[in-house]
Amino acid sequence: MSIPFSPHIRAVHPPPISEVKGWLATRPDIGLELIDLCQAVPDYPPAPELVTHLATLLDDPLTSKYSPDEGLPEVLAAVCETYRRKYGAQLEPDNLCLTIGASQAFWLAIVTLCQAGDEVVVQSPYYFDHAMALDMLGIRGVYAPFDEASAGLPSPAVIAALITAKTRAILLVSPSNPTGAIIPPETLQELYSLAQCRNIALILDETYNEFIPGGVRPHDLFTRPGWGEHFVQLASFGKTFALTGYRAGLLAASRQFIQHALKVQDSMAVCQPRITQHAVRFGLEHLDAWVAANREMMARRHDLFRAEFMQPGNPFRLSASGAFFAWVRHPWPELTGRQAAKRLVDETAILCLPGEVFGSGLEGYLRLAFGNIREEAIPEAVRRFRKMAA
């Protein structure tokens, strides 16, 4: 007899990226090089000067030691200065906690806010790790439906109708993972006001905020007096500086929220690794031009893919796109997203994620990520989609 497992953990589906990449071991050899549109990670390395800088720190014994739970003071100061430039933020170091990626920032936020039986309103399609975490914790996700006509952007009226006495937060991702859609600042302002009126939190995951075309300010929420009373931001420097393996995340909230979140931080991870913090600081202080160049490169990838994909005769339909992603309707109504994605990798060597991992009822969609595909490979990728018979 085996030990019993938590019913919450048993009910959660295995990680989708691991599942899909597992298909590669059994796919037939069709003589085509794999085009990986599955995982949303930059295909380029960190800036050479950042790597050189980190190499100078490895001999320092301090680099291998704990930092304060929230992060090194000089790194928090660099984040505050960057946020003042990027957001016009009224932000101090005690509004911040450096985390093991944005995923850990999400866990800190949810555990600080919620207990089993509470509800969080989530816009669909959602980032699957968020839904997995809520399910594991016994917190009910209440999902605002995907509206293809609006490219999946949230409707304040729809979200307001889903709030109950058990609701503790509204959860959004912008730019969206999986659709790439960017929530307009005015919509975020309206949702913040809704959260304030209902005395709940607006949790905004901005992992891809440095890939908004033109580098425009994503919103003005950090400029509002008392912003942290109802606004919680999750962020990542992993995508920004091509440091995904360093797990460079951030939680920004009120001082009181951070004080409570640090209880979770200490019991979960203690602190973000010092080497990661040094990488973040160097990037914030020295790599604005490098980040801007990569933003422009990703925008070119997106624009080229969109132009090629939307030419007449493609059996797949582009429903939404932007930043790192495209959200595509596949042409096989008899197939689930998993079956469609498996068919693509088996018949044309394109690896992508099925729509249903991002929400119930989304079996007709696929998520494509532009992080792994260079501009010169995009026409070939689209050619492979086009040749699939409807």
- Residue 59 C-alpha from the chain's centroid: 34
Give yes or no for residue 1 having a pLDDT over 80: no
- pLDDT (tens digit per residue) in 142-156: 999 999 999 899 999
Give 3-state DSSP helix, strand, coil % of the chain, rounded to 5.
Answer: 45, 15, 35
Q: Where are the alpha helices (DSSP H) in 63-122?
A: 73-87, 101-113
Parallel/antiparallel/unpaired status of strands 350-351 and 96-100: unpaired
Inter-axis angle of helices 378-387 and 337-348, to 10 degrees? 110
User: Which amino acid, 98?
Assistant: L
pTM (predicted TM-score): 0.95
- Residue 257 C-alpha from the chain's centroid: 22
- pLDDT (tens digit per residue) in 307-348: 999 999 899 999 999 878 999 999 999 999 999 999 999 999
Q: Compute the distance between CA of residue 114 and CA of residue 46 in angstroms, rounded to an integer.
A: 36
Among residues of the chain, what percentage have pLDDT more than 90?
Answer: 87
Average pLDDT, stretch 292-304? 94
Instruction: Determine the Cα angle at 322 with ends 320 and 328, to 5°.
Output: 30
Please give the structure tokens belonging to residue 119: 């509800």
User: Which amino acid, 72?
Assistant: L
Give yes or no for residue 389 having a pLDDT over 90: no
Which pLDDT score, from 0 to 100, does residue 53 have?
Answer: 97
Q: Which domains does the chain have, with CATH numbers?
A: 7-45+290-387 (3.90.1150.10), 48-287 (3.40.640.10)
Please give the structure tokens belonging to residue 39: 């995982």
Nearest alpha-carbon partner for 207 in 231, 172, 167:
172
